[in-house]
């Protein structure tokens, strides 16, 4: 990877946030495109062929056993690890946590897989359409008891959570009455011969007038979804959540004013909101850089991609993710995973560190780690990798502080410890400063007691250490 001052840091930041980071070859091609074109490419996944689908059709047969949850998990992880449409997969992950639905109650892999496809298919278009799809989604009908919500025997669960968690936000202008009336509107689904094992039965639907959020009519599910999607409070709640997810900091009121307007002016189009977020000052601000803690999925998928590894190099990935606190398809409850610092506690941090060493161990048997390292390195003509002394805050908008002692690449020939440390740190965390004391500790690791470089045998350990470092948990 060739670096060149700040544009690399910004591009890497975009790729981490709008996807799962770049494999070496992808990085080169995004760099050629430049930031603006890269952003457009991410925002329009439909312009990149879904090579995974094509691949699978070429092979034929059942590539995923949708009745086996482990297979479905591996299928989704495979998509994230190998995707060429990263924002689409990232949004699928976002919706999985927003409309958090867990297999421990749904108890049916095929429905979980179908819900995942719904998030993928509708996740960057109109939020109203997505919401309408979710309201009739078979996994959701089980999860929030929609299948038991019938005329005369209302079940309020979905109506309450759709307002509290999926659209308006708790306490934001809906009453118990609204919940009850909405519940009546959502009636009608029951077990049957339709897709996912459910069918809409007009006889089970509570026909008649309902008043929801001040609007009266003979509402059905789609109507209430429309009322909710167009509500100004939904605009604020949803854009706030998207801002926090992509920018990583708390939005100012003006940020949300702007984004809400984009949402409402563009028929609730998610893509338009994302575009506005990526174009905002906040997104590329100092405050936003590395402000997020990687979720377990991000940690594992980003690391596998950064190593340019295949999914199979991460043995028992689902179990590792569970130990890190993110069991895919099994969020703890309908509010989803709480993210941020909640991802890190003694148990989950141990799981991350132990995962890192397992992955490196596997990789070193398959590829040359030295080869991977060199792929991270700046070329001889590019500016040296910035290293900052201890005490500097991250300042990426100005020119990076140049350290004349930063190691450059030997075009060929023996690696030095210093080069290895610089290349790996900057390759795995482009834009993250490397304080002098840290650098010294890592360089010392690569050397024997007599100070001679022992880089060849210590390289796997160095990969482990960088991926285990506190800084690497950020993105």
Partner 1 sequence: MSHSRREFISNGLGFVALGFTVPTMLMQASQAVAAEQTIANRGGKSGKILVVIEMAGGNDGLNTVAPISDPLYAKLRPTIGVKADDAVKIDKGLGLHPGMGALGKLYEKGQLAVVTGVGYPNPNRSHFQSMDIWQSGDPTLDARERSGWLARYFDEDGHSQGDPLAGVSMGGSLPLALWSKNSAASVVGNNAGEFGFAARGNAREAQLATLKTLYQQKGMSGGTVAAGAADFIRNVGDGIYGSSDAIKTALKTYDGKAAKGANYPRDNGLANGLQTVAKLIIGDLSTKVYYLSMGGFDTHANQPGNHAYLLKQLADAVAAFNADLEMQGRGKDVMVMTFSEFGRRAQENGSAGTDHGAASVMFATGAGVKGGVYGDYPSLDDLDDGDLKHHTDFRSVYATVLSNWLGVSAPKVLGGEFASLKFV
Identify residues 387-416 at the interface with partner 1 (CB under 8 A).
Answer: 390-394
C-alpha to C-alpha distance for 89 and 136, rounded to whole angstroms: 22
Q: Are 83 and 21 in contact (CB under 8 A)?
A: no
- Tell me the per-residue interface mask from 32 to 51 with partner 1, x by CB under 8 A, - otherwise: -------------------x
| Contact residue for partner 1 among 108, 185, 348, 430 (CB under 8 A) | 348
424 touches partner 1 by CB under 8 A? no
| Contact residue for partner 1 among 6, 240, 354, 403 (CB under 8 A) | 354
What one-character-per-residue DSSP string does 140-180 give? HHHHT-GGG-BTTB---HHHHHIIIIISS-TTSS--HHHHH
| Contact residue for partner 1 among 177, 211, 345, 368 (CB under 8 A) | 345
- Choose the stretch contacting partner 1; rule: CB under 8 A; options: 221-229, 269-277, 286-294, 401-409: 286-294
How far, CA to CA in Å, does 125 sit from each of 129, 133, 235? 8, 12, 15
Reference 245, options 338, 147, 335; nearest CA is 338
The CB-of-272 to partner 1 minimum distance in angstroms stands at 27
68 touches partner 1 by CB under 8 A? yes
**Binding residue count for partner 1, defined by CB under 8 A:** 99
361 touches partner 1 by CB under 8 A? yes
| Contact residue for partner 1 among 74, 92, 190, 426 (CB under 8 A) | 74
192 touches partner 1 by CB under 8 A? no
| Contact residue for partner 1 among 70, 175, 177, 368 (CB under 8 A) | 70
C-alpha to C-alpha distance for 174 and 365, rounded to whole angstroms: 58
C-alpha to C-alpha distance for 424 and 430, rounded to whole angstroms: 9
Q: Which two tokens stand for residue 463?
A: 């990969």
The CB-of-312 to partner 1 minimum distance in angstroms stands at 4
Residue closer to partner 1 (CB basis): 123 or 433: 433
290 touches partner 1 by CB under 8 A? yes
The CB-of-390 to partner 1 minimum distance in angstroms stands at 7
Q: Using CB under 8 A, which residues numbered 225 to 284 contact partner 1? A: 248-249
Query: Helices (H), strands (E): how many in the chain?
Result: 23, 4
Non-local CB neighbours of 359 within 8 Å, separated by 6+ positions? 303, 304, 307, 309, 313, 314, 467
The CB-of-323 to partner 1 minimum distance in angstroms stands at 7
Reference 303, options 119, 111, 88, 81; nearest CA is 81
Q: Using CB under 8 A, which residues numbered 82 to 101 contact partner 1? A: 82
| Contact residue for partner 1 among 108, 323, 426, 430 (CB under 8 A) | 323
What is the helix, strand, coil percentage profile of the chain, to 5?
60, 5, 40
Question: To which H or E segment does residue 200 belong?
Answer: strand 198-200
Residue closer to partner 1 (CB basis): 259 or 334: 334
The CB-of-93 to partner 1 minimum distance in angstroms stands at 18
Q: Are strands 210-212 and 198-200 parallel, antiparallel or unpaired?
A: unpaired
Q: Using CB under 8 A, which residues numbered 134 to 173 contact partner 1? A: 145, 148, 150, 152-157, 164, 170-171
Residue closer to partner 1 (CB basis): 264 or 353: 353
Non-local CB neighbours of 368 within 8 Å, separated by 6+ positions? none
C-alpha to C-alpha distance for 404 and 112, rounded to whole angstroms: 54
- 443 CB-side CA count, 13 A: 18
| Contact residue for partner 1 among 18, 229, 291, 415 (CB under 8 A) | 291
469 touches partner 1 by CB under 8 A? yes
């Amino acid at each position: 990877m060739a670096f060149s001052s700040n544009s690399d840091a910004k591009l890497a930041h975009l790729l981490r946030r709008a996807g799962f980071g770049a494999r070496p070859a992808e990085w080169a091609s995004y760099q050629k495109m430049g930031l603006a074109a890269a952003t457009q490419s991410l925002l329009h996944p439909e312009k990149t062929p879904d090579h995974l689908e094509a691949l699978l059709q070429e092979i034929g047969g059942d590539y995923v056993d949708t009745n086996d949850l482990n297979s479905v998990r591996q299928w989704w992880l495979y998509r994230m690890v190998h995707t060429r449409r990263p924002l689409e997969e990232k949004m699928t992950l976002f919706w999985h946590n927003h409309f958090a639905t867990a297999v421990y109650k749904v108890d049916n892999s095929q429905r979980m897989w179908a819900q995942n496809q719904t998030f993928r298919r509708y996740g960057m278009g109109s939020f109203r359409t997505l919401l309408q799809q979710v309201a009739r989604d078979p996994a959701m009908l089980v999860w929030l008891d929609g299948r038991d919500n019938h005329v005369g025997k209302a079940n309020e669960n979905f109506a309450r959570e759709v307002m509290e968690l999926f659209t308006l936000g708790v306490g934001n202008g809906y009453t118990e009455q609204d919940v009850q009336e909405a519940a009546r509107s959502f009636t009608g689904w029951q077990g049957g011969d339709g897709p996912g094992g459910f069918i809409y039965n007009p006889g089970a639907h509570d026909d008649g007038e309902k008043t929801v959020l001040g609007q009266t009519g003979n509402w059905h599910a789609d109507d209430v979804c429309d009322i909710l999607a167009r509500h100004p409070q939904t605009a604020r709640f949803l854009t706030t959540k998207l801002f926090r997810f992509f920018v990583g900091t708390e939005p100012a009121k003006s940020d949300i004013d702007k984004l809400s307007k984009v949402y409402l002016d563009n028929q609730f189009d998610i893509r338009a909101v994302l575009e506005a977020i990526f174009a905002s000052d906040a997104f590329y601000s100092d405050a936003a850089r590395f402000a997020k803690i990687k979720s377990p999925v991000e940690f594992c998928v980003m690391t596998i991609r950064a190593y340019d590894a295949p999914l199979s190099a991460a043995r028992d990935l689902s179990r590792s993710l569970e130990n890190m606190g993110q069991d895919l398809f099994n969020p703890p409850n309908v509010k989803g995973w709480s993210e941020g610092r909640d991802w890190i506690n003694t148990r989950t941090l141990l799981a991350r560190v132990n995962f890192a060493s397992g992955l490196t161990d596997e990789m070193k048997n398959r590829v040359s780690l030295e080869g991977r390292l060199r792929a991270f390195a700046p070329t001889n003509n590019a500016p040296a990798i910035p290293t900052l002394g201890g005490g500097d805050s991250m300042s990426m908008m100005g020119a990076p502080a140049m350290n004349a002692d930063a190691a450059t690449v030997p075009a060929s020939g023996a690696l030095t410890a210093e080069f290895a440390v610089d290349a790996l740190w900057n390759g795995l965390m482009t834009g993250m400063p490397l304080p002098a004391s840290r650098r010294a500790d890592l360089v010392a690791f690569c050397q024997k007691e007599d100070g001679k470089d022992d880089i060849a045998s210590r390289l796997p350990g160095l990969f482990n250490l960088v991926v285990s470092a506190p800084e690497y948990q950020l993105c």
